[in-house]
Structure 1
Amino acid sequence: MGQEIERKFLVKNDSYKNHAEEMVEIRQGYLSSVPERNVRIRINGNKGIITVKGLGNETGVTRFEWEKEISVEEAKALLDICEPGKIEKKRYIVKYGEHVYEVDEFLNENLGLVIAELELSSEDESFEKPDWVDKEVTGEVKYYNSELLRNPYKNWKSI
């Protein structure tokens, strides 16, 4: 239990795949998608995970996060009672410099959206940006997974 410090970026091309060390398929839903107490159920490859997130700070970089591994069977049962809609994506793990980027390639209703996330130990920690990283979208609510259920990428007029 603690604080998540994370930056999010759009991705401009798929060259990150050439450097990916791992790819895992993710399926997730929300028991609660309200920003003050977001409760996510996820099947991440062969793991089940329940995550609770709170509101972000004024920059959107830091927010409360609690996560616990659960069985895949428990995750499947909980996904069945989640709010309508599911997020499905492929996550690529890409080491770059001293950091690890998680690049999410969204599927289905959000096909075409690719976001790179970078977890940091402090908000002012410096990091290197790969050439495939584009505009920063940290704190922009429309890029939150829970918001992508309500307003999928396929419905956006422009980014």
Structure 2
Amino acid sequence: MPLEIERRFLVVGEGWREHCLWQVEICQAYLVRQADGLTLRVRTSQGQSDPAPQAWLTLKAIPPGASSAPALVRLEYEYPIPHGDALELLDLAPEQLHKQRYGLNLPGGAWVLDVFAGSNAPLVVAEVELADPDEILNLPAWCGQELTGHHQLSNAALARHPLQQWSEAELRELLPSFHVRTGKGEG
């Protein structure tokens, strides 16, 4: 069973930039998004060093017997598909998100950082894939509030209900430090 073991953090500041190895532009949309955590995603990406666009279909689900809330451990099945097929699927999915993804050179797992664009800007989220859910992490200083398990902050949820559409109350409840830094909602 292919498992994704991932923790997510709100990013504070620019200290992460010194760890960048690569960058890709990502567009993704959700063809299926169920309350039990099952998602079917189509994604395209294009990197600066590799001009050929790439595309994937990814199915994610909660493992049998686990909690139904999106969390640390999920099943993940990912398959490359022709880029043209992905573009057609993106046309079928109005709930999309766009971001720049950066690969980071940090110990303790496979780190990436997403700088969201469009209606999810200026959100910046770091993700680390781990080999074991109990693995101890030494977090960089720029990792702020942990977002792992907050289903309202999953990529699927952000595609459906982008950050710019959040009420002031939603921001205060889920992202209090982000709300203060951006001043969103302040008069």
- The reply to whether TM is greater than 0.5 is yes
Q: Which amino acid aligns with 2:158?
A: L
What is the alpha-carbon distance in structure 2 between the residues aligned to residue 133 and residue 149 of structure 1?
23
Which residue is equivalent to 1:51?
58
Take 2:165 and 2:152, find their aligned partners in 1: how far apart are those partners? 12
8 Å CA contact 2:101–2:112 kept in 1: the answer is yes
**Contact 2:26-2:99 at 8 Å conserved across structures:** yes
More strand by percentage: 1
Q: Hey, what does 1:24 align to over in structure 2?
A: 24
3-state SS in 2 of match to 1:109: helix
Gaps of 5+ in 2: 47-52, 176-187
Q: Which has the larger radius of gyration?
A: 2
* Residue matched to 2:83: 72
Runs of 4+ in 1 over 6 A off after TM superposition: none
Instruction: Quote the offset at 1:105 in angstroms.
Output: 0.5
**Local SS of the residue matching 2:86:** helix
Displacement of 1:69 in angstroms is: 0.8
Which of 159, 164, 185 is 1:154 aligned to? 164
After superposing the two structures, state which structure 1 stretch, 110-119 or 31-40, moved more. 31-40
The alignment partner of 1:76 has SS state of helix
Q: Is 2:3 aligned against 1:3?
A: yes
Deviates more, 1:1-10 or 1:86-95: 1-10
Alignment correspondent of 2:92:
81
CA contact (8 A) 2:56 2:79 kept: yes
TM-score (norm 1): 0.92
- Offset at residue 44 of structure 1 (A): 1.6
Contact 1:29–1:86 (CA under 8 A) maintained in structure 2: yes
Q: Report how far residue 35 of structure 1 moved.
A: 4.1
Q: What is the aligned partner in structure 2 of residue 107 from structure 1?
A: 117
Equivalent pairs: percent with the same residue?
33
Query: Mean Cα displacement is larger for which, 55-64 or 128-137?
Result: 55-64
* Counterpart residue number, 2:134: 124
The alignment partner of 2:18 has SS state of: helix
TM-align CA RMSD: 1.6
Whether the 8 Å CA contact 1:33–1:39 is kept in 2: the answer is yes
User: How far did 1:33 drift?
Assistant: 1.5
The one-letter code sitting in structure 1 at the alignment partner of 2:12 is K
What does residue 72 of structure 2 align with?
Answer: 61
The alignment covers a number of residue pairs equal to 158
